[in-house]
Structure 1
Amino acid sequence: MRGMTLAYHTPLPADMQAQLGITPPAPLAMADQVRFSELDVLQHVNNAVYMQWFERVRVKYTQIWGLSRSFGGVEGPRIVIRSGTIHYRQEMLLDEDYVVTCGCTAFRNTSFSMYQELWSGGTIRATFQCVLVLLHPDGSGRYAIPDDLKQRFIEVDGAQKET
């Protein structure tokens, strides 16, 4: 990413993702930089921090897609992780720029699968796959994914409807 100015905490357009080696471009990609506070005693990023990075972009994704609960406003569904798997591929070090991507790969009536990647220096450093379930705001039961969001999953993310 040398010679390129990254806008941190801002969705990256497809052309910027392509310049960073992220192809095909993800529905959402955001950049940041490793901080000293994220390191462990071995001087590389602590494994738990990766989950925070993935979560930050996943939450932004649900906000942009109009699905996230509002704090103090109109309530949307509760979004909970049913299951998830992370794969660590290569360590991250202090001051490295990185990009976290996020997109829906499949959906049902009240749940959807997401795939996330962590990129740095043109390589994938970690991946995270998870299944998210929507619940009514009071937790009383499942919440149906709105039809317009299902259509967006298909058209923007390239997701598949599962039966």
Structure 2
Amino acid sequence: MTLLYHTPLDAATQTTLGIAPPAPLAMADRVRFSELDALNHVNNAVYMSWFERLRVRYTQDWGVSRYPDGDNNPRIVIRSGTIHYKQEMRMDEDYVVTCGCTAFRTTSFSLAQQIWSGGTLRATLDCVLVLLQPDGTERYPIPPGVRTRFIKIDGAEPYD
């Protein structure tokens, strides 16, 4: 199987790669030399970059942010996050980062992200994102179309 990098992977491809259940958004890449530390495995900080890269794509694709267009985009900030490192990764490993909303409120939502390689879960990140007005002074409501997408595509549930 030829793995396409930087291209959203469909549910069937994710399943073939051992990702269960498939995520609403998943993209593949390969570990680069520059991402290794002195112990010759992926530096812990790099996982956060991988998660962020897909999280930005997710917010764009789902319509949360229209970055870089216009000045009316909400500020998206991480309120909290918990990362779990499950197994180290090394040079030239293919990996897949996944992302999906698990729950949402009026101005915030929870994301579950994972990194998979060789059919094995390597790291997870659970985080809460808050939307703020462009000037950062107050909260920004999640648009109705995004809320609908969270429910229909991600299977997320509103919580209050």
* 2:72 counterpart letter in structure 1: E
Specify which of 137, 141, 144 is matched with residue 140 of structure 1: 137
Normalization by structure 1: what TM-score?
A: 0.96
For residue 23 of structure 1, what is the aligned residue in structure 2? 20
Rounded Cα–Cα distance in structure 1 between residues aligned with 2:108 and 2:91: 36
Aligned 8 A contact 2:83 2:124 in 1: yes
Normalization by structure 2: what TM-score?
A: 0.97
Aligned 8 A contact 1:134 1:143 in 2: yes
Aligned 8 A contact 1:84 1:128 in 2: yes
Return the offset for 1:69.
4.3
Aligned 8 A contact 1:69 1:78 in 2: no
Please state if 1:37 is matched with 2:34. Answer: yes
For residue 99 of structure 2, what is the aligned residue in structure 1? 102
Specify which of 33, 47, 55 is matched with residue 44 of structure 2: 47
Return the offset for 1:68.
1.7
Return the offset for 1:32.
0.2
| Runs of 4 or more above 6 Å deviation | none
Aligned 8 A contact 2:14 2:22 in 1: yes
Return the offset for 1:22.
1.0
Identical amino acids, percent of aligned pairs: 71
How big is the alpha-carbon RMSD for the aligned residues of Structure 1 and Structure 2? 0.9
Residue deviations 1:17-59, cap 9 Å, x none? 0100112210000000000000000000000000000000000
Aligned partner of residue 6 in structure 1, secondary structure = coil
For residue 128 of structure 2, what is the aligned residue in structure 1? 131
Q: Structure 1 unaligned runs (5+)?
A: none
Rounded Cα–Cα distance in structure 1 between residues aligned with 2:28 and 2:95: 6
Please state if 1:160 is matched with 2:118. Answer: no
For residue 119 of structure 1, what is the aligned residue in structure 2? 116
* 2:33 counterpart letter in structure 1: F
Aligned partner of residue 105 in structure 1, secondary structure = strand
Q: Structure 2 unaligned runs (5+)?
A: none
Question: Which range moved further: 5-14 or 71-80?
Answer: 71-80
